Structure 1
Amino acid sequence: MTTIAHTPTPHTLAALTTRRARALTEPLLREAVSRLEPWMALISSYHLGWCRADGSPAESDSGKAVRPALALLAAEAVGAPAEAALPGAAAVELVHNFSLIHDDIMDGDEERRRRPTAWKEYGVPGAILAGDALQVLAFDVLLAGGGPLGQVAAGHLTLALRELVDGQARDIQFAARPWSGPGTVTVAEYRAMAMGKTGALLAGASAIGAVLGGADEPLARTLAEAGGQLGLAFQCVDDILGIWGDPAVTGKPVRGDLRERKKSLPVIAALAASESAADQLADLLADRQSVGDEGAAEGGSETALLKAADLIEECGGRRACEREAELALARAHDLLDLVPMPAEVRAQYTALADSCVARVT
């Protein structure tokens, strides 16, 4: 009987690519985390979904593993086995989770992946220290396991981390900017913020994987630029999901970013529109009694939140954000086309890249 080989769909191939990255990287992550001070190891393991708050084993969501997947694919794209990039894949995942722990504290988020966040379970001081521990551990893993190229790869991780912090700082400062008139956040400023906050670590993962795979600097830079564009696309999609996402899929409340009054791209693009609806939106978002925690406390914000979401669509904010994601994805594909790589690796790259935008299309 002849067996017919079936080519997986792009969605399935993307899932297989990230699943492989998780399977290859997790043993190294677990070994690294086990070396931390016991309390730090407990908090980190809980955040990573490996255990319950009391330390008993659990199988919870550990995240998408997009960054490790990019590191492994970058090594394969330049002709090395995926295993060459494992220290880099683990390092970028540790840095990513350091940033998530600290983000949850800064944003006051009480849930992540449908569980209480680390700071809710263990307190803010413990969560801050656990995040710091993961950041230091990332460099330890990379320098110890990266061989002669580990130091070069660590330079790329340092750059990514600096740009990530810069992007996060810009995002925080956006909150103090006005909703209308001089000083409003521009789309160009948003793009620079997102390229740092989200794009930098995807770029770093790609560069690190390529370097550990033996690539020269120009080739590593091309793959890094592609990763950065994927990060921009990914952040745009996150912004769309933050307003219109299905809570059953995102694990977050619908219109949550509006409730937190975030200056995400759909909002920024809508406010820049020359329509009267943009003025209505600015007035609505500026009123904490209508949109925000005060309104929610009074039970009156849901109508205002729905109105704000409708005004954003009316002003073209959602479509502008979708378009930005599509353009960033196209730029990523153009950059990947410049890199000669095995067909099966290119197929995985393409599927993974497209999955960044397919979450909302």
Structure 2
Amino acid sequence: MAAAGVPHGRDSTVGGVLRRCRELVRPALVETVGRLHPWTAEMAAYALGWSDAAGTPDPDGSEGKGVRQALAVLGAEAVGADGGAAVAGAVAVELVHTFSLLHDDIMDGDALRRQRPAVWKAYGTGPAVLAGDALHALAVQCLAGAPGPWTGEAVRRLCGTLNALVRGQAEDLRFERQPWSGPGAVGMDQYRSMAEHKTGALLGCAVALGAVLGGGSAATVAELERAGRHLGVAFQAVDDLLGIWGEPAVTGKPVHGDLRQRKKTFPVLAALAGEGPAARELAALLESPEPPDRATAARAAVLVEEAGGRAATRGEARRHLDAARRALRGPALAPDAAGELDSLFVSLLDRSR
């Protein structure tokens, strides 16, 4: 039996699902952002891809895929509710995701986001921090105003996720101060913890919020959150691959960008864990006091692959994707929504940006 409000015959392709969820959530997202001060609202609209840096509507702006809001809608439908029950949760997670990108770009010094200047480059660092803070507060306010008996639980879950995001980002920033080798080096389990908090927590929260607002049982909500967390670790692994080998015209970031910034990502750490000549040469390159130029970064990318870092990262992504898909088979979910969640999960492993 299809979930309530989930008609047969709809477009269940991944693109169709993402489009349907964006169309459902977009009016509430626009209305919510409109509550902000005009200046922070303008920066938010720019960050969301709705307008250019002059505040003019930008039909060519990229709004992103809307994965997190789709997870929230599908989470509600998976427990038999209408997707509309999850709109406040979908808006909240989209605002949290956007605020985290604004702050991450500042902390990482990333000048581009979705193939155009990041908010801090377009408006300045201070204004971008302010806009991120405004979106953070607005996300909690939006969810707190959601009708229904499960609002308190939803807000508590979102606040816990916000703490997890900060923890993950703190771990990521701290990695920059740790050595590449020796007793203080970043371990693989440390990296997995960072990825689960920084990326997995919000994906898990998104699908769980939908289930909470849709009236799902505690056990079902927990399983859906677990699925989302595994998905997040897989998502981060793919993101790490794109950070080294992604196509700049697609990702909007420079080739071998993560290596030039000496980021401690999964492929690099997995390669360094090896004991062969490629791992040793890679360690020497990364530990050099000189910042990597293009040629050095290109050589490092070859060494990461030769030392097994690329294959290990693909394996890590596949293991967590499989765990996420298994979690979907545990609870008694509405089959249409469960199938769409499964398809969405698989598509994120195959993404190019």
TM-score range, shorter chain: over 0.9
CA offsets, 1:75-129, max 9 Å, x none?
A: 0110001000000000000000000000111111111111111111111111101
Query: Aligned residue for 2:146?
Result: 145
TM-score of the superposed pair, with normalisation by structure 2: 0.94
* Contact residue 115 and residue 252 of structure 2 kept, 8 A: yes
Equivalent AA in structure 1 for residue 327 of structure 2? L
* Contact residue 88 and residue 146 of structure 1 kept, 8 A: no
2: CA distance, partners of 1:51 / 1:358: 29
* Structure 1, unaligned runs of 5 or more: 292-300
2: CA distance, partners of 1:107 / 1:234: 19
Q: 1:262 to 1:146 in 2, by over 3 A?
A: farther
Query: Structure 2 matches for 1:34-53, cutoff 5 A?
Result: 34-53=34-53
Give the superposition deviation at 1:138: 0.5
1: CA distance, partners of 2:277 / 2:182: 14
Give the superposition deviation at 1:194: 0.1
* Contact residue 266 and residue 317 of structure 1 kept, 8 A: yes
Equivalent AA in structure 2 for residue 192 of structure 1? S
* Contact residue 78 and residue 335 of structure 2 kept, 8 A: no
CA offsets, 1:203-223, max 9 Å, x none?
A: 111111110000121110110
1: CA distance, partners of 2:67 / 2:125: 27
Query: Structure 2 matches for 1:1-361, cutoff 5 A?
Result: 13-59=13-59, 60-291=61-292, 301-359=293-351
Equivalent AA in structure 2 for residue 196 of structure 1? H
Equivalent AA in structure 2 for residue 148 of structure 1? P
Give the superposition deviation at 1:288: 4.3
Give the superposition deviation at 1:306: 1.1
2: CA distance, partners of 1:15 / 1:139: 29
Question: What SS does structure 1 have at the residue aligned with 2:35?
Answer: coil
CA offsets, 1:251-286, max 9 Å, x none?
A: 111111101110000000001111122111011012
CA offsets, 1:58-90, max 9 Å, x none?
A: 121111211111111110110001000000000
Query: Aligned residue for 1:295?
Result: none
2: CA distance, partners of 1:175 / 1:269: 17
Give the superposition deviation at 1:7: 10
* Contact residue 260 and residue 291 of structure 2 kept, 8 A: no
CA offsets, 1:221-242, max 9 Å, x none?
A: 1100000000000000000000
2: CA distance, partners of 1:313 / 1:144: 49
State the Cα RMSD in Å.
1.7
Give the superposition deviation at 1:186: 1.1
TM-score of the superposed pair, with normalisation by structure 1: 0.92
Equivalent AA in structure 1 for residue 19 of structure 2? R
Question: What SS does structure 2 have at the residue aligned with 1:148?
Answer: coil
Give the superposition deviation at 1:290: 4.8
* Contact residue 88 and residue 146 of structure 2 kept, 8 A: yes
Question: What SS does structure 2 have at the residue aligned with 1:261?
Answer: coil
Residue identity over aligned pairs, in percent, reads 49
Q: Which runs of 4+ in 1 moved over 6 A?
A: 5-8
2: CA distance, partners of 1:179 / 1:277: 15
Question: What SS does structure 1 have at the residue aligned with 2:233?
Answer: helix
Equivalent AA in structure 1 for residue 15 of structure 2? A
* Contact residue 284 and residue 308 of structure 1 kept, 8 A: yes
